[in-house]
Structure 1
Amino acid sequence: MKTISSVVEHYIKTKPFLLSALSQGIINLTSLARTMMPELEQEIGKDVKQGAVVMSLKRLSEDLDFRVNHKIVKVLRSIGEITVRSSLTDYTFAISDTILNKQADLISNINSFPEVFYTSSRGVNETNIVVSSSINHIVEKLFADEKQIERTDNLASITVKLPKDNISTPGVYYYIFQRLAWEGIIINEVISTSYEFTILVSEQEVDVAFKVIKDLKNLS
């Protein structure tokens, strides 16, 4: 049997931005309850009292305040070094029988250039390579026979070191990306390891993105 509390919680959880705003206590619960009423009554199949919805929202917001703020903020306050690199190019190639050999050749070519940025990731059908734009000519020569799906120039990377608690705390990445989304930042790529992640954004947006991430260390 569906209860008002369970239906309210499901409603909120299907709306990520509303979920965050509720956890921060910046929503008028009475107004929100009034907006939710028609959908909740349809879901439950009977009339619902607005006061009961408000009470469910209040309990949920208090619970979310603990789960979201106390745990996630503890991790975000411990964010380590933030490194920014500019003048990057992002290539996407279709996976082929020869793509790994080409990547090995690329690594061999750039080993003598420690200042050069290089990272890659492999999906089911595509391989992504991000390099300093200064070596674009090497990439284009080595991968000339590969199928290039996409290329994006004038990118910057922001690499963030995270504390070990991040791997056991749900919602850390969501919270970070949500803040970036609120600022209208378009993320071209995300590359992560256990204790750090890198995002690629346009060079025009890197200053705003850096400030958003840096400000997370000062959350209260």
Structure 2
Amino acid sequence: MKTVAQSVEQLLKSRPFLEEALQENIINYSALAEKLQPEISLLLKKSVKTGAVMMALRRYKSPVGVSKNLKIQQAFKNLGDITVRSNISAFTFRNTNTLVNCHGKLLAFVSDNTHLFYAFTRGILESNIMISGAEAERVNSFFKAEKLLNKRDKLAAVSVQLPQDNSKVAGLYYQLFKHLAWSNIALYEVVSTTNEFTVLVEEPVVEQAFSVLKNLKN
């Protein structure tokens, strides 16, 4: 039979932000126990006292938090240049057999205009194209026969250079997303390569997103 302690552990592990805040001792145990008590009672299918939940919280031993991971701290210190590009347009097209031909036309144009911001991601059912807003009409022309699912203008791209060994650092992307989320920054799109991380956000919050990523280096 599941215990109160096991139920508390289950809930905390499903909410990493909460677990990390608890580990940093910035959460009131009594208030958290009151909040979790109804869920614990539901999981155990019996009434559970708040005091029992609070005791389980105090005894809970969380794994070493990624925020205290020395590899992550070192990776943040080694973050490279942060670049901001404004006036980005993003298109979402339904995947078809002819979409790749249209994309070939766009690639030929982009290869001759290397100053442009350009990114492409392909999913199972749809593909995204992100390009400098000045060339939005060119995308409309090249893809005019394709099914446009969504289009957004006035976006901005914030790119950060990651250290060479970032793929070996567990939790690095979690920390990037966490700090952006805690600053209430919604991400329209995320694009990454081996050593580069880019987020697309609405232009009004681009300075805030830049500040969040820059502060990670400190």
TM-superposition CA deviations, 1:132-189 (whole Å, max 9, x none) = 1122222111111111111111111011222345433443323222222222212111
What's 1:144 paired with?
A: 144
What's 2:67 paired with?
A: 69
- Residue 193 (str. 1) matches residue 193 (str. 2): yes
Whether the 8 Å contact between 2:29 and 2:57 is mirrored in structure 1 is yes
TM-superposition CA deviations, 1:62-118 (whole Å, max 9, x none) = 634x32222244433332221111111101111111111111111111222111111
Whether the 8 Å contact between 1:23 and 1:68 is mirrored in structure 2 is no
What's 1:80 paired with?
A: 80
The verdict on how the C-alpha distance between 1:168 and 1:55 changes in structure 2, with shifts beyond 3 A counting, is farther
State the AA in 1 paired with 2:62.
D
Unaligned runs of 5+ in 2: none
Residue 43 of structure 1: SS of its match in structure 2?
helix
What's 2:175 paired with?
A: 175
Whether the 8 Å contact between 2:75 and 2:163 is mirrored in structure 1 is yes
- Residue 212 (str. 1) matches residue 215 (str. 2): no
Cα displacement (A) at 1:59? 4.5
The verdict on how the C-alpha distance between 1:59 and 1:68 changes in structure 2, with shifts beyond 3 A counting, is farther
The verdict on how the C-alpha distance between 1:52 and 1:75 changes in structure 2, with shifts beyond 3 A counting, is farther
Whether the 8 Å contact between 1:106 and 1:142 is mirrored in structure 2 is yes
Cα displacement (A) at 1:7? 1.4
Unaligned runs of 5+ in 1: none
- TM alignment of 1:114-133, pairs within 5 A: 114-133=114-133
- TM alignment of 1:17-96, pairs within 5 A: 17-45=17-45, 53-60=53-60, 63-64=62-63, 66-71=64-69, 72-96=72-96
TM-score by length of 1: 0.86
Identity among equivalent pairs (%): 40
TM-superposition CA deviations, 1:44-72 (whole Å, max 9, x none) = 35565655543432344x634x3222224
Whether the 8 Å contact between 1:163 and 1:195 is mirrored in structure 2 is yes
The verdict on how the C-alpha distance between 1:95 and 1:114 changes in structure 2, with shifts beyond 3 A counting, is same
Runs of 4+, deviation exceeding 4 Å:
45-52
What's 1:98 paired with?
A: 98
Residue 114 of structure 2: SS of its match in structure 1?
coil
**RMSD, aligned CA:** 2.3
Segment drifting more, 46-55 vs 142-151: 46-55
Paired residues, what number? 216
